[in-house]
Structure 1
Amino acid sequence: MGLKIKRIARNMGRIEFIACKDQIYSMLQTGHDIKKIFESLRERKMITMAYSTLCYQLAKSRKQNLCITKNQPCCCSQNIQKQIKTDNQSNSFSVNKSPSTNDMI
């Protein structure tokens, strides 16, 4: 038979996420993907939650857009918003609806 994994207590995943939140966001800012962060924290025995729980808590934290402990906008979300604004500005273009006589063929 397969190895049964014991379930963690209710809401324990959220508590583990809050405890490791600073490390998770710093690893995200350095470019690590969520799966690698999960594996790293699991190897160091800092978390016992499932990968899906980590993804859920991370999405929930980003959606709330608040630091859990400080009640102010999260530093990670501010950097993401700045990056989105700069990406939109750099990828935009404009169309000149009335070309000059030199531009006409």
Structure 2
Amino acid sequence: MKTVVLIILLIVGVLAQSPMYLDPNGPEATAIANDLTRQYADKINAPGSLRLNRVEEAMVLGRGTRTEQYTIKAFVTTMHGSHTFCTRFYALRSDGTLTLYSWNMC
């Protein structure tokens, strides 16, 4: 009986760590990308100067666990509309707080 319980817990743990792709056009991916775009603008000392254009990819690891890891590929536009660029955001959600920890250009 203990073996069965351990195997079930192992399977659940492995499934929680397999990547889950979110709908890039869905409200959840858009809300996360908007929050990360705002955090990105704050980190590069340009608050309010960037806006989300569109989400290309959205993936989460550890869905439903205490700590979720997000990878979002999005196109960001300057507020003047003169520049659009692709950015990949890496973020953690721990205890309900989403924190951008890394980013790079695509």
TM-score if structure 1 supplies the norm length?
0.28
TM-score if structure 2 supplies the norm length?
0.28
Q: Quick check: which has more Rg, 1 or 2? A: 1
- Bigger share in strand: 2
- Bigger share in helix: 1
